[in-house]
Chains A and B, each alone.
Chain A
Amino acid sequence: MIRFILNRLLLLIPLLLVVSVLVFLLLRLGENDPAMSYLRLSRIPPSEQALAEVREQLGLNRPLVVQYFDWLGRALRMDFGLSYVTGAPVLDRLLYYLPNTLYLAGVSMLITLGLGLPLGVWSALRKDRWPDHFSRGLAFIGVSTPSFWLGFMLVFLFSIKLGWLPPLGMGSPLHVIMPAFSLSLMSLCINTRLIRTSMLEQMNARSVLYARIRGVLEKWVIGRHVLRNSLIPVVTAIGMHMGELLGGAVVVENVFAWPGVGRYAVSAIYNRDFPVMQCFLLMMTALFVVSNLLVDVLCAWLDPRLRYGKGAEL
């Protein structure tokens, strides 16, 4: 198992290197000039001389390769540069907001699993009856609803009309309910259907038939044989959903004035504050990669066959 994890970690290194090259090069795409943004945000009139000075100061007139390795070297030491707007270290600011985003995403994940798992199991056990139709209908509605619109509609109903929940900001546990629900609806619906499909597939497995022949109680058949095996695709899907969840959090944070990294990043994009944008993209990508790694490890734990890769017999 440890070998499996080490293997996966080693495979990540070249991937992350290419990612860093891409993140670095993408900024030089298009006609924007970091020196120009810097001057605009520092409110210095952009004269030829000022531009030259800033280029010198930011090291922009060195060869691109030198700039890249310089940037990478500092990034590896957790130095992502200073914000053009505030002049403060970029990483500090993002790390300040990050726990709020993780809190929101975490509660959303809890909703996704806490509601999705029972609902999925229920509709698999009652296939083609009304619980199944209900969850199918819900899935259609859920995957088609824009999260920001749902957020506003919830605010209108529960804050403005009923006055039950606070409309904006973050403070009491009540504040997180509406943002987390808006963020989780889509992955909740997708996961419910996935759990259902995956359970139905497992119910046909020979191990399940054998357990039934042995006279194992139905609740044990479902719990031990069907559910455990049907969790593997679900866990994989949750890893994929992390990407959607991180992206969705940006949108939802902006609806509910939630003080997370996404809101900060959007304002950085308005300002063309390049160091913040770069650090934000790297941070979110790292989160996505790490969560996928955790998912792989979890799957390997659930299904020992996966630990040995292609060589092992299936």
Chain B
Amino acid sequence: MSGASTSWTRKLLWGFSLPLIGMFLIASLLAPVIAPCDPHEIDLAIKLQGPSGAHWLGTDHLGRDVLSRLIWGARTSLGSVVLIVTLVMLMGLAVGCAAGYLGGKIDSLLMRFCEVFLTFPTFILAMFLIGVLGTGLVNVILAIALTHWAWYARIIRSLVLTLKNREYILAARVAGAGRLAVVLRHLAPPVAAQLVILATLDLGHMMLHVSGLSFLGLGVRPPTPEWGVMIQDAQPYIWTHPELILFPGLMIFLMVLAFNVPGDLLRDRLDPSARGEG
């Protein structure tokens, strides 16, 4: 995607998304300090109240403070997505490096295996895995990582293939470095560095998966403050309290957007072929 050719649009987009990411980072790291109330504290006497001095964004159907739940929700979303990306990168690096560097039969075997995973629609496979493993934060992270690693393994393999015959790798081998050492010291780091950027592009996409699963009741379990769960909780109150759906959805939207914008801009810079006519 190109189009942000003028520097001021680029600056505008960076200026929009970096503060947002910063805000979400601070919210998730400092949630216990910033959140005005306990996100789990139930008080049925004040349920479904509008904004007030004590509860800036009102309360939900169990009288829990919406603002505090939104802030803690940032921690759940960001934390799970970062873990997913880390897992996916590790699995992708292991399989991709092995396939690309060793080549031959191992390569074709591993790539066939990837192909099998790519045959499934990702979200539906993730649903199935959760059906097998059970709901909960850890299982959601596992399910989404298991459904996405194959894409990464493929990209990593092709990156490894381009690096494999570089002189510095050959030099390391001539100097007597073993296969594992070459991969760990000389192949994996540059590949990982290139991929971290690609992975930010995927953060938003994976966040939508996490919240989508949670909305279906197949993700994070209900008392945990999570934006998808909050929307599911608020579903029966759409006639009277639509803001209970509006706020968490807006948070998902803003966080995904904040990660998509730099992803898009960076891809423009990294991949000249995506620049259209340039």
Interface residues of A (CB under 8 A from B): 15-16, 18-19, 22-23, 26-27, 29-30, 32, 127-128, 132-133, 136, 139-141, 143-150, 152-153, 155-156, 160, 193, 196-197, 200-201, 203-204, 242-244, 246-248, 250-251, 254, 265-266, 268-270, 272, 277, 280-281, 284-285, 288-289
Task: Determine whether the beta carbon of A203 is less than 8 Å from that of B277.
Answer: yes
A149 (CB) vs chain B CBs: closest residue: B249
Interface residues of B (CB under 8 A from A): 1-6, 112, 115-116, 119-125, 127-134, 204, 208, 211-212, 215-218, 228, 231, 235, 238-239, 242, 245-246, 248-249, 252-254, 256-257, 260-261, 264, 274, 276-277
Distance to closest chain B CB from A40 (angstroms): 14
Distance to closest chain B CB from A128 (angstroms): 6
A123 (CB) vs chain B CBs: closest residue: B3
Residues in A whose Cβ lies below 8 Å from that of B131 = 268-269, 272, 277
Task: Determine whether the beta carbon of B130 is less than 8 Å from that of A269.
Answer: yes
Residues in B whose Cβ lies below 8 Å from that of A156 = 238, 242, 245
Known: A136-B4, A155-B238, A193-B1. 9 other contacts (CB 8 A): A26-B128, A140-B260, A140-B261, A140-B264, A147-B212, A152-B235, A156-B242, A254-B216, A266-B217
Task: Determine the distance from Cα of A309 to Cα of B264 in the docked complex, in whole angstroms.
Answer: 32
Task: Determine whether the beta carbon of B253 is less than 8 Å from that of A146.
Answer: yes
Can you show 13 pairs from A to B with CB atoms below 8 A apart? Answer: A16-B119, A140-B257, A146-B215, A146-B252, A152-B242, A156-B242, A242-B121, A244-B121, A248-B123, A251-B216, A266-B217, A281-B120, A288-B120
Task: Determine whether the beta carbon of B218 is less than 8 Å from that of A269.
Answer: yes
Residues in A whose Cβ lies below 8 Å from that of B242 = 152, 156, 160
Task: Determine whether the beta carbon of B276 is less than 8 Å from that of A251.
Answer: no
Per a CB cutoff under 8 Å, which of A147, A201, A265, A281 touches B125?
Answer: A281
**Given A30-B132, A146-B208, A152-B231, CB of A281 within 8 Å of CB of B124:** yes
Task: Determine whether the beta carbon of A244 is less than 8 Å from that of B123.
Answer: yes
Task: Determine whether the beta carbon of A250 is less than 8 Å from that of B238.
Answer: no
**Given A136-B1, A269-B131, CB of A149 within 8 Å of CB of B123:** no
Distance to closest chain A CB from B131 (angstroms): 4
Task: Determine whether the beta carbon of B133 is less than 8 Å from that of A29.
Answer: yes
Per a CB cutoff under 8 Å, which of B112, B119, B132, B264 touches A29?
Answer: B132
Taking each of B121, B122, B249, which has the highest tally of chain A beta carbons within 10 Å of its own beta carbon? B121
Task: Determine whether the beta carbon of A246 is less than 8 Å from that of B3.
Answer: no
A18 (CB) vs chain B CBs: closest residue: B116
Residues in A whose Cβ lies below 8 Å from that of B119 = 15-16, 19, 285, 288-289
Task: Determine whether the beta carbon of A285 is less than 8 Å from that of B121.
Answer: yes
**Given A144-B253, A146-B208, CB of A197 within 8 Å of CB of B129:** no
Closest 4 CB pairs between A and B?
A: A247-B123, A149-B249, A243-B121, A200-B276
Residues in A whose Cβ lies below 8 Å from that of B128 = 23, 26, 269, 277, 280-281
Task: Determine the distance from Cα of A22 to Cα of B123 in the docked complex, in whole angstroms.
Answer: 16
Distance to closest chain B CB from A292 (angstroms): 9
Residues in B whose Cβ lies below 8 Å from that of A19 = 116, 119-120
Task: Determine whether the beta carbon of A15 is less than 8 Å from that of B116.
Answer: yes
Task: Determine whether the beta carbon of A204 is less than 8 Å from that of B277.
Answer: yes
Task: Determine the distance from Cα of A171 to Cα of B3 in the docked complex, in whole angstroms.
Answer: 42
Task: Determine the distance from Cα of A280 to Cα of B253 in the docked complex, in whole angstroms.
Answer: 30
Per a CB cutoff under 8 Å, which of B3, B124, B217, B256 touches A132?
Answer: B3
Task: Determine the distance from Cα of A8 to Cα of B236 in the docked complex, in whole angstroms.
Answer: 48
Task: Determine the distance from Cα of A280 to Cα of B125 in the docked complex, in whole angstroms.
Answer: 10
**Given A26-B129, A30-B132, A149-B252, CB of A197 within 8 Å of CB of B212:** no
Task: Determine whether the beta carbon of A250 is less than 8 Å from that of B3.
Answer: no
Distance to closest chain B CB from A227 (angstroms): 16
B133 (CB) vs chain A CBs: closest residue: A30
Residues in B whose Cβ lies below 8 Å from that of A204 = 277
Task: Determine the distance from Cα of A5 to Cα of B6 in the docked complex, in whole angstroms.
Answer: 46
Distance to closest chain B CB from A116 (angstroms): 14
Task: Determine whether the beta carbon of B216 is less than 8 Å from that of A250.
Answer: yes
Task: Determine whether the beta carbon of A27 is less than 8 Å from that of B238.
Answer: no
Residues in B whose Cβ lies below 8 Å from that of A23 = 128
Residues in A whose Cβ lies below 8 Å from that of B239 = 160
Task: Determine whether the beta carbon of B212 is less than 8 Å from that of A251.
Answer: yes
Task: Determine whether the beta carbon of B121 is less than 8 Å from that of A246.
Answer: yes
Per a CB cutoff under 8 Å, which of B132, B246, B274 touches A26?
Answer: B132
Task: Determine the distance from Cα of A145 to Cα of B207 in the docked complex, in whole angstroms.
Answer: 11
A16 (CB) vs chain B CBs: closest residue: B119
Distance to closest chain B CB from A174 (angstroms): 19
Task: Determine whether the beta carbon of A284 is less than 8 Å from that of B124.
Answer: yes
A200 (CB) vs chain B CBs: closest residue: B276
Task: Determine whether the beta carbon of B208 is less than 8 Å from that of A285.
Answer: no
